[in-house]
Structure 1
Amino acid sequence: MQSILKVLILEDVNADAILMEHELARANIKFISKIVQNKKDFLNELNSFNPDIILSDYRLPAFNGLEALEIVKKVSAEIPFIIVTGTLDEVTAANCIKKGAWDYVLKGNLIRLGSAVQEALKLKEEIEKRKLAEQSQQEIEQQYREIFNSSTDAFLIFDLKGNIKDANPKACKMYGYKYKDLIKLSGKDIIHPDYYHIFKNFKVEVRIEGEFFTESVDIHKDGTFFDVEVKGAEINYKGKSHLLAIVRDISKRKQADKMIQESEEKLRNFINTTTIGIWCFKPESPIDITQPVEKQIDEFMKSVCIECNETYAAMMGSTRDKILGIKLYEVLPDNVENREYFREFIKEGYKLDGGESHEISKTGEEKYFSNSFVATIIDNKITEAWGTQTDITGRKKAEETQKVLYNIAHAINTTKTLDELYQSIHIQLGKIIDTTNFYIALYDKENDTILFPYHIDEIDKYTSYPARKTLTAYVIRTGKPLLGTEEVIEQLIEAGEIGKGKKDTCTKFWVGVPLIVDNVAIGAIAVQSYNDASIYSEKDLEILEFVSDEIALAIKRKQAEQALQHEKDFYHSFVESLSDWVWEIDIQGVHTYSNKAVKNILGYEVDEVIGFSTKKLWTEKQQRKSDKWYREELTSGKGWKNFSAYFQHKDGSVRILESTAIPIYDTEKKLVGYRGIDHDITSRRQALQKIQESEEKYRTLTENLNVAVYRSMAYDKNKLIEINSAFVKMFGYKNKDEIKKLKVSSLYQNPKERKQFVRKMTKNNFVKNEELILKRKDGSKFIGSISAVLGRDRQGTGLYIDGFIEDITERKKAEEALQKSNKKLRKLHKELEEKVKKAVKELRDKDHILIHQSRQASMGEMIGNIAHQWRQPLSAVAAIIQNYEDAFEDEKLDMDYIEEHTDLIMDILQQMSRTIDDFRNFFKPNKLKVDFNVKEVVLNTIKFLENSIKFNNIKLVLNLPDNCIFTGFPNEYSQVILVILNNAKDVLLERKIKEKEIKINLEKEKNKIILKITDNAGGITPEVMDKIFNPYFTTKEDKGTGVGLYMSKMIIEKNMKGKLSFGNTKKGAEFKIEI
């Protein structure tokens, strides 16, 4: 919907303002307007009305458009300001635009106002959009700079030579340099020598492919090496092409990968070697937990074993492959005892710790097991249950200690976090020993500090403290358990093993055991009492020793699990963010994994690719070509590198992918598939093809040119590398091989000029149209015009010279002949110039004669008019003088009479004097253009003929508006009018017209002022029309000179750039002056 435009109109003529509103409405512009006529009102409305656009007259009483414009520019330069005025010359209009006006419209051409307003509003909108865009660009640049400086990756910007031009703080920290030192280095200064080729490829591939990704090894300032991952792209930096490298330190990830592998291996070993049975049962369909309990038990008894370890299978008297798929009721009888077992499970929130079950093994043996398991519940439905199982058949009534120890082992395997594990251990141990003061400590070797991830104490609360000589540090250092009675602690102090007054030496009884992993003590678990010196025993120490190994493994496993999950999350995010296609296939070539880049490369969703063979994605031609090779590679276990294949895009187009893959083995070193990455090289291949086509076109073109094209070695090597056929022909040899054996300098008439030519090339890198005398095989000479460029390597050393030679011998001969001809032509031109000057002078002399004659003729006619005007006042003066005699005879001649009649005579004489002044001013030429009112000039001219016109009874009809202002020569314009009026008067008298009439009509039409002078004397005869503006042509016989109309046309059309024309009307002739 179009918004309402607010228009402020500064105009002192209300009618003109209304016309402006009318034109805006006619242009379909929806608007509201305010009209003001002075500065005060203008300022008020500018602030209160808040206009969208301003229309202003140029001239106003005590105010003008330019002053208003300056005010608006100070308030808001974005408000369009359009000058709307009656008249405005080009200089003034240009000045208005220069000072900030958006446009100007003449009131005589108001039809343009609507479009001018629309164009101004359109321009205003574009200016606002551009400012918003500039502001947005600045914000984006600021955001990019913040990202650059705050990134956790190193950002390095290289010029095309490989020099570092900018770096972010992370880069300085990563490489150990200060910023000012780092940007002085080249890329080679920070990369391991074995990886220089990667840096070279980086510079090339970024420019060709637009991006680059690899892994490398870089060098720290201190000389240490570290693994990095590098992404690259070409960017515009400070107006020039540069290379951006995003570098990430992956040393820890490499170490973590190794740790993950070790951890996974340990976990697999644990599962396979643990004495705890591990199982997972899944219902035939999810069990609704909102239904009755007995119904839930019925459905759970039908659950199927979908996972277990060999320990569980052995407990059930079978093997894993035979246990998988059995129903739960096959090993767990549906009896009262076992149903109570499930009721307890449901009561406890679908999880059970240490529940006892009565089961039957596959060999038929009755067994009792202690189970810990938990159900997975989604949307109030059990989808599966995982659990561990311990055979308690032989120790159904074992001691509570055994139960507690089992619970601790259970917690190790079921808790999700270390904090949960520590809390569970604390609770379970508290059932059999005093754990009022209990902690788990880990040793930070790098800082020689004891860390306390779990610490419960009556007196102190620690998170860490220096190891030094403490009981905890002693146990970790020796790797041995300690039953620390007061006596034992005192002995250790005396032996210097621990320090007196150190942490935990104020205890009455302290018991601790080391947490050992891979024969290395990583920490300790301990209990203590501050008031009972006999609270613990050797049995308590054994209990702690029993759980310590499990706790140590659990800590390491949980830490590894967290690191593994972190690395998995990172790897998944990284792979999914890659623009290359990352995939995994089995040994049949069927995809088992794909990142989402396949969508951009081949158009397929990930789900569409999974389960799909790679071969089926190839084009038919590629399948036929590579089928055998691919089958062999899939079974080789070697993988492949940079294999290029043509793939069929989902839309039918063809893509070229470059593939690299490595084999994947399972834990038994059996080949299970391949993991790889495919890079889309379609654009690169197309570019190479275009280069080849371009080179072929170049060879075709050069072989068909008439000029000699060559490439030679630079400097002193002095040999030709490539030449075209025209080169062989130009120098008169049989073939290319013959001429290539020669030294380049031997083709010069003066071989030394070859060295001079090469020196000039080295200095300027090129030469153009260098003229040298060359020598053919037969010894004949010719003039060659050589243009060439010097090719350099990346270090700036000249390698070769590419150029072409044109035989200009004939052209030089023609130029010499042309110079001789030009010399004769210049002589002839000089003689002709003298003749032209002489002819022009003669023409100017003739023009001066014509002008003089025209002015003399006009003066003659004017003198006649003045004489006619003087007759009446001279007769009046004569009559007054004659009255003096009569007054004297009548004795009336006194001083009063004389003064009265003398004053009357002086008035008449002054009037006659003014006539002479007007006559003199009329013939005074104007030297400068001035603004004049055409109406005033016409009326002043008529005054000279007024008495003659009245005397001859000629009716004068005038239509002269006031608004016709022109910049020109008013006296010359008046002279033209006088000539036309005199001619009209003479022809009216000559033809004895009874009702003589002359009409003068003045009008303004667009940018023209038109004056029409019409008579009723019958018109101009046909035989006169073609000659009327000819010099010395007259129809007045003895009365005229024949130069009046000729000079009138010269004045209007040459001096004033206007037009003087004539024609006949129904009653007479009409002369029209247009300026």
Structure 2
Amino acid sequence: MNKSDFIKTILVLINKDDDSQLSLITDNLEDYFFNVEVIKVFTTKEAFKILNSTEVDLIIYSVNENNIEYLIKNELTKIPLLLVSTNTFFEEIENKVFKLPPFDFLTKPIKEKLLVSKINNYFKIYDSVKLKTKIIDENIIYSEIDLNGIIKYVSQPLVNISGFTKNELITQEYFENVLDISIDEQKKIWESIQNSKTWMGILKKRKKNDEHYIAKTTITPLYENGILLGYYSHEQDVTSEISDKARMQEILDAQYSLIIILDNKVIIESNKTLFYHFGYKNIDDFKSKHKCICDLFIQENESSIMPKMGDKYWVDYVMQNNNLTNKAYLRDKNENIRIYDVHYRGKISNNQYIIVFTDITQLEEKSEILSKQSRLAAMGEMISMIAHQWRQPLTAISGLTTKQNLKKRMNQETAEDWQEFVNKHKDLVNYMSKTIDDFRYFFKEQQLQSLTIENIINKTYKLTTPLFEKHNVEYKINYKSDGLKDVSILTASSKLDQVFINLYKNALDEFISNKKQNPKIWVNCEIKDEKIVFEICDNAGGIPEDILSKIFDPYFSTKSDNGTGLGLYMSKTIIEEHLKGSLEAINKNAGACFTLKLPII
């Protein structure tokens, strides 16, 4: 039968011969405890019959030489005992009763208030224990096993998740019949808990329907009064979490990009790309050899991401420059250098970040080919400019030579004439030599250097002046603030020159193609949002709106057979990838305007 937790049941076993006092006192218990039900019995046999049909909270047992053996033989478990007898008898049976469940003694003659006090203490203790047991049995996946690994107790949530009944689980061997793990794994857990250590981990467990669930499990030694009685296990069902994580890992592993998850800047997860390309078995193998993926970074050029970027850690640098191309060079297991574009892709939690390494090795190789093609195209333009700039001095040299030769034939050559002839030749040759130096400097690979705005603009203007003069192009520079000429930026001069000259040459081609009258090119300079902004504009009619979004694509050209389609593509690549800036185009004031932004030193 079931009873309300509110009612306490006390079973009183009375000795017929000498316990009239106990019988009288227990009759009065209901005056002290309004929620107590007292059941009196007069034989041990009657007591066990009651115990088989009724939930009992406390047993008051009048013990003597006639019933003590029966009591010990039919050991009462998990029910508190209050033994009543004489002092002399307790001294005789002390060695026998210490093995019984938690108990207390009450000697005769019985004091009513002392009995009530002891009962009250029991109720307080066992109310707490019973509440704890109820919470466990209703809410926690819990079990207890003995020293041999046999299950002795299971909670209702364990029954619910496994599909087994309590009777089907109790007396089963925990490790062999409940856990679905290898014998070696069983031994490791068993050795750990036998050494009085708590074991924690993820376990695969059997269900009755031959399916499984995944449990985050803690197995702890169970002590009572310093004696090891067995072990208890409490679990958290993480089947859904593990399944979701496994599905997420499958998605990550399907990606060609290298994806890592950092926790406080320490790598905790990765997809298989890291292991496949760089020769590691798994994330633990990687972590045993490296503290950081940045250990694999190599310094290929000045734009390579390294563990420290100035005063910033590489992750912080990437997060702050996420809109730029952040190149990392890593050597793979075959000693090949792989190039990655590194970007921050969000947070999982406050301290966990997702970083994606996109392999751009092949793109960089193609870009290098395009760059060489673009340089060759630019070289053709430069040779055309050299030819134009040399035409005038060569004509002058030819005229001076003819004139000097005629004087010599007519015997009119003087020493002064000859010296003047030599000096003019020298000036013209120096001019031509300086032109070669200017253009040779244009094609020379350079490290980043500090240049003023005025130096950048004047240098590219000087290289293109002959073409501007030939086609009567009006050129103007607008500095929008005082002192702007002297502001410096860190740049690769030859690369930046290539961009400016390409933009100037495109405008010039449009002037010629459209037979533009009063052609103009102007450059506006200003500082905005901590960047130097160049706006290079013309009045050549602008770019058709239907192709404006395509002009930076490789091999896209509107010049039919005369264009390579690489100039603007390489210009954007140089500005955005090499110089960490931006290049955009719009139509404005009956022409095209290219806005170039570069970081200030």
Q: What is the TM-score with the length of structure 1 in the denominator? A: 0.30
Aligned partner of residue 1026 in structure 1, secondary structure? helix
What are the superposed Cα offsets for residues 335-387 of structure 1, whole Å, 9 maximum, x if unpaired? xxxxxxxxxxxxxxxxxxxxxxxxxxxxxxxxxxxxxxxxxxxxxxxxxxxxx
The 5 A counterparts of 1:383-782 are 696=131, 699-700=134-135, 702-704=137-139, 707=141, 709-713=142-146, 715=147, 722-725=153-156, 742=171, 748=176, 759-769=191-201
Change (3 A) 1:1023 1:699: same
Output the amino acid matched with 2:156.
S
- Alignment partner, residue 478 of structure 2: 959
- Alignment partner, residue 900 of structure 1: 420
- Alignment partner, residue 935 of structure 1: 454
- Alignment partner, residue 282 of structure 2: none
Shift of 1:803: 0.8
Aligned partner of residue 1013 in structure 1, secondary structure? strand
Shift of 1:692: 6.5
- Alignment partner, residue 944 of structure 1: 463
Answering whether residue 467 of structure 2 is matched by residue 1034 of structure 1, we say no
Shift of 1:972: 0.8
Answering whether residue 396 of structure 2 is matched by residue 876 of structure 1, we say yes
Shift of 1:792: 4.3
Output the CA distance in 1 between the equivalents of 2:436 and 2:418. Answer: 27
Q: Is the contact made by 2:404 and 2:421 (CA closer than 8 Å) also made in structure 1?
A: no
The one of 228, 233, 249 equivalent to 1:803 is 233
What are the superposed Cα offsets for residues 3-47 of structure 1, whole Å, 9 maximum, x if unpaired? xxxxxxxxxxxxxxxxxxxxxxxxxxxxxxxxxxxxxxxxxxxxx
Q: Is the contact made by 2:453 and 2:488 (CA closer than 8 Å) also made in structure 1?
A: yes
Answering whether residue 591 of structure 2 is matched by residue 1068 of structure 1, we say yes
Aligned partner of residue 962 in structure 1, secondary structure? helix
Q: Is the contact made by 2:442 and 2:494 (CA closer than 8 Å) also made in structure 1?
A: yes
Output the CA distance in 2 between the equivalents of 1:970 and 1:696. Answer: 80
- Alignment partner, residue 580 of structure 2: 1057
Output the amino acid matched with 2:501.
L
What are the superposed Cα offsets for residues 44-77 of structure 1, whole Å, 9 maximum, x if unpaired? xxxxxxxxxxxxxxxxxxxxxxxxxxxxxxxxxx
Shift of 1:840: 7.0
The one of 502, 525, 540 equivalent to 1:1017 is 540
Aligned partner of residue 1030 in structure 1, secondary structure? coil
Aligned partner of residue 1042 in structure 1, secondary structure? coil
The 5 A counterparts of 1:810-825 are none
Output the CA distance in 2 between the equivalents of 1:782 and 1:1027. Answer: 56
Output the CA distance in 1 between the equivalents of 2:547 and 2:255. Answer: 46
Output the CA distance in 1 between the equivalents of 2:379 and 2:546. Answer: 29
Output the CA distance in 2 between the equivalents of 1:1068 and 1:783. Answer: 69
Change (3 A) 1:808 1:1002: closer
Task: Specify every segment of 5 or more residues in structure 2 that has no aligned partner in the other structure, as ranges.
Answer: 1-112, 118-123, 257-271, 278-333, 340-358
- Alignment partner, residue 788 of structure 1: 219
What are the superposed Cα offsets for residues 234-281 of structure 1, whole Å, 9 maximum, x if unpaired? xxxxxxxxxxxxxxxxxxxxxxxxxxxxxxxxxxxxxxxxxxxxxxxx
Output the amino acid matched with 2:534.
L
Output the CA distance in 1 between the equivalents of 2:587 and 2:214. Answer: 73
Output the CA distance in 2 between the equivalents of 1:774 and 1:739. Answer: 11
Shift of 1:784: 9.6
The one of 497, 500, 508 equivalent to 1:974 is 497
Output the CA distance in 2 between the equivalents of 1:1072 and 1:772. Answer: 61
Output the CA distance in 1 between the equivalents of 2:531 and 2:380. Answer: 32
Task: Specify every segment of 5 or more residues in structure 1 that has no aligned partner in the other structure, as ranges.
Answer: 1-639, 645-687
Output the CA distance in 2 between the equivalents of 1:910 and 1:929. Answer: 29
Output the CA distance in 2 between the equivalents of 1:775 and 1:1028. Answer: 64
Q: Is the contact made by 2:496 and 2:574 (CA closer than 8 Å) also made in structure 1?
A: yes
Aligned partner of residue 485 in structure 2, secondary structure? coil
Output the CA distance in 2 between the equivalents of 1:746 and 1:987. Answer: 85
Output the amino acid matched with 1:994.
Q
Change (3 A) 1:696 1:943: same
Output the CA distance in 2 between the equivalents of 1:1028 and 1:749. Answer: 70
Q: Is the contact made by 1:749 and 1:781 (CA closer than 8 Å) also made in structure 2?
A: no
Aligned partner of residue 562 in structure 2, secondary structure? coil
Q: Is the contact made by 2:163 and 2:207 (CA closer than 8 Å) also made in structure 1?
A: no
Output the CA distance in 2 between the equivalents of 1:781 and 1:981. Answer: 73
Change (3 A) 1:971 1:799: same
Q: Is the contact made by 1:749 and 1:775 (CA closer than 8 Å) also made in structure 2?
A: no
What are the superposed Cα offsets for residues 377-423 of structure 1, whole Å, 9 maximum, x if unpaired? xxxxxxxxxxxxxxxxxxxxxxxxxxxxxxxxxxxxxxxxxxxxxxx
Q: What is the TM-score with the length of structure 2 in the denominator? A: 0.51
Output the amino acid matched with 1:1010.
V
What are the superposed Cα offsets for residues 848-906 of structure 1, whole Å, 9 maximum, x if unpaired? 34222221221122112111111221122112112213322453324443233212201
Aligned-pair Cα RMSD in Å? 5.1
Larger Rg belongs to: 1
Output the amino acid matched with 2:374.
S
What are the superposed Cα offsets for residues 771-802 of structure 1, whole Å, 9 maximum, x if unpaired? 699999xxx9999976311244686x535422
* Identical columns (%): 27
The 5 A counterparts of 1:116-195 are none
Change (3 A) 1:724 1:887: same
The 5 A counterparts of 1:284-433 are none
Change (3 A) 1:723 1:979: same
What are the superposed Cα offsets for residues 561-599 of structure 1, whole Å, 9 maximum, x if unpaired? xxxxxxxxxxxxxxxxxxxxxxxxxxxxxxxxxxxxxxx
Shift of 1:806: 8.9
Change (3 A) 1:760 1:902: same
Change (3 A) 1:756 1:989: closer
Shift of 1:699: 2.5
Aligned partner of residue 904 in structure 1, secondary structure? helix
Output the amino acid matched with 1:725.
Q
Output the amino acid matched with 1:766.
T
Q: Is the contact made by 2:521 and 2:537 (CA closer than 8 Å) also made in structure 1?
A: yes
- Alignment partner, residue 857 of structure 1: 377
Output the CA distance in 1 between the equivalents of 2:370 and 2:155. Answer: 73
Output the CA distance in 2 between the equivalents of 1:897 and 1:748. Answer: 115
Q: Is the contact made by 2:552 and 2:568 (CA closer than 8 Å) also made in structure 1?
A: yes
Output the amino acid matched with 2:218.
S
What are the superposed Cα offsets for residues 920-969 of structure 1, whole Å, 9 maximum, x if unpaired? 1101122x322222321221111111122122221111124324322232
The 5 A counterparts of 1:88-99 are none
Output the CA distance in 1 between the equivalents of 2:594 and 2:238. Answer: 66
Answering whether residue 520 of structure 2 is matched by residue 997 of structure 1, we say yes
- Alignment partner, residue 486 of structure 1: none
Q: Is the contact made by 1:866 and 1:944 (CA closer than 8 Å) also made in structure 2?
A: no
Change (3 A) 1:724 1:1040: closer
